[in-house]
Structures are given as structure tokens and as C-alpha cells.
């Protein structure tokens, strides 16, 4: 039970994943993957869908090339995947339920960033398309020196750019690979999505079905605004009634789902 690690705490920064967390683009990735596989003579199956979720797009292209029996065509398959995805998102950009309101609320209370496995131009386009780009100070994607999720690099870099220690930052994620990246970077983590796997729930401090979860919204709205927190820093008050709880050693038993 570690929901208190979220609800009894105020993060100094919040880092969101993009696909499936802020923008309902995971379905576009899945459609793009399915289209490209079929064009290359492969019938996609549920196992492939699960294996590919949250993968960096280049790793996904390599996986698809192997499935198609043409492992040397990984770069070509990756470009096909990106082209299909961009076309699908352009036709139908949709924000994840509750994302816009939560981002707006938290942006008044902490600096925000995005950490994604997607190309920077794709993330920028998606966030602008759903009206959220202006809320985020930084967008961090894989680049030289920043390895893709599930490595922790993107979250470490996002916290660095926001000027906070990883232990004082919150991550919001929907995939196992993203959750692993955030946990290994040392952030506290909220997982979001319906029907999560046991592994996903175990990795998260708190799991919610959607970003408009009433408990999550109430917590976000109750956090002090940035200006008030600056005043508190200048004029310290007595110790909190809810001291910070150290990260538990056995993370596999730590996930807690929010209850209605």
C-alpha cells in the first residue's frame, strides 16, 4: 500500500509520458504497426501488440522486420511505421480523458516536462494538436546520451532540466516500459489505464483508470500553487503532519489502485 507516497506528498516537478498518457495516440501506433505488418505479409496478433507497446519506434521497426523475415529491412520498416503514424495522428488527434484538466491544474503547482520514446517532432505535433504544448517547459526524447525507455535516461534528463532531484519528481505513465524507466530513475509514479497488468500495477505507487479519477483530481487541486510554495521556502513552517515515506525496498508489492 503506497498510495500515501502520492497523496501525502507534493512533487517539485511532474514528468508525463505522451503516447497513451496525454494523447490517445497509442491506438494510432497500433494501427500503424498493423498496417505496416500487413503490407509486409504478416498478420499481427495480440502477443505482438503487447510486446510492441511502449517500445522505442526504432526497436519496434526492428521487431517488425524480424517478424516479416527481413531483419535487414529494419530502417525501412521504421520509416514506414513513422509515416503511417504521422498520417493517422494528423487525421484524428485526441487527448486522453482527463489529461487536459490535470495538466492545467498541475502546471500551476509545479514545472512540467514530457519524457517520450517518440521523435521530438511527433511529440511536439501531438501536444500542439490537443492544446497542451504550452504547459510543458521541456520535451525529452531519445538522443545521443539519452537512451530510450525502459532505460531511465529520459526521466533523469527531464528532472535535470527542471532543476529537481529525481526523488522529488512525479512521473505519470501508462506502459510497463515507461514505468520501469521512471522507477529506475527514482521518481514516484502514477500509472494510468484500464485493465493494467499485474506487473504494471506493482511498479506504480498509485494506479488510476483515468486522469479524471476523483481522488487524483482532488489531490492535484489541493497542492499549493508555485507562488505559495516559494513563500513557504522563505518562511518555513513546522514539520508536516505527513512526513515523507522512504521508497520501499520491495517494489513488486507496492502498487496500489485508487478506489472510487
pLDDT tens series, the chain, 260 aa: 478 899 999 999 999 999 999 999 878 888 999 999 999 999 988 888 888 877 788 999 999 999 999 999 999 999 999 999 988 988 888 999 999 999 999 999 999 999 999 889 889 989 999 999 999 999 999 999 999 999 999 999 999 999 999 999 999 999 999 999 999 999 999 999 999 999 999 999 999 999 999 999 999 999 999 865 554 444 443 333 333 333 433 444 445 666 55
Whether a cis peptide bond, with omega within 30° of 0, leads into 40 is: no
Find out whether 20 and 114 touch, Cβ atoms under 8 Å.
Answer: no
Sheet of 169-173, strand order: 138-140, 112-115, 13-16, 169-173, 188-192, 206-208
17 is catalytic: yes
The burial class, CB within 10 Å (0-12 / 13-18 / 19+), for 173 is: buried
| Residues 32, 37: Cα–Cα separation, whole Å | 9
Q: What is the pTM of this model?
A: 0.78
Catalytic-labelled residue, pool 8, 17, 209, 212: 17
Amino acid at each position: 500500500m503506497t498510495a500515501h507516497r502520492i497523496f501525502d506528498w507534493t512533487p517539485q516537478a511532474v514528468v508525463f509520458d505522451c503516447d497513451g498518457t496525454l494523447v490517445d495516440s497509442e491506438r494510432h501506433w497500433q494501427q500503424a504497426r498493423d498496417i505496416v505488418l500487413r503490407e509486409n505479409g504478416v498478420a499481427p496478433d495480440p502477443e505482438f501488440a503487447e510486446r510492441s507497446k511502449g517500445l522505442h519506434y526504432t526497436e519496434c521497426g526492428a521487431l517488425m522486420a524480424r517478424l516479416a523475415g527481413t531483419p535487414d529491412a529494419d530502417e525501412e520498416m521504421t520509416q514506414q511505421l513513422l509515416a503511417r503514424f504521422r498520417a493517422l495522428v494528423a487525421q484524428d488527434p485526441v487527448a486522453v480523458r482527463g489529461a487536459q484538466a490535470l495538466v492545467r491544474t498541475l502546471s500551476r503547482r509545479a514545472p512540467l516536462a514530457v519524457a517520450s520514446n517518440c521523435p521530438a517532432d511527433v511529440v511536439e505535433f501531438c501536444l500542439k494538436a490537443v492544446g497542451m504544448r504550452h504547459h510543458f517547459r521541456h520535451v525529452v526524447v531519445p538522443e545521443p546520451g539519452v537512451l530510450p525507455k525502459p532505460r531511465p535516461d529520459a526521466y533523469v534528463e527531464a528532472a535535470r532540466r527542471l532543476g529537481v532531484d529525481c526523488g522529488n519528481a512525479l512521473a505519470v505513465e501508462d506502459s510497463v516500459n515507461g514505468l520501469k524507466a521512471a522507477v529506475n530513475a527514482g521518481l514516484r509514479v502514477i500509472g494510468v489505464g484500464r485493465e493494467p497488468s499485474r506487473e504494471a500495477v506493482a511498479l506504480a505507487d498509485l494506479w488510476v483508470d483515468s486522469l479524471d479519477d476523483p481522488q487524483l483530481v482532488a489531490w492535484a487541486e489541493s497542492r499549493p500553487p508555485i507562488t505559495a510554495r516559494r513563500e513557504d521556502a522563505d518562511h518555513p513552517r513546522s514539520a508536516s503532519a505527513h512526513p515523507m515515506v522512504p521508497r520501499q525496498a520491495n517494489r513488486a508489492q507496492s502498487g496500489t489502485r485508487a478506489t472510487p
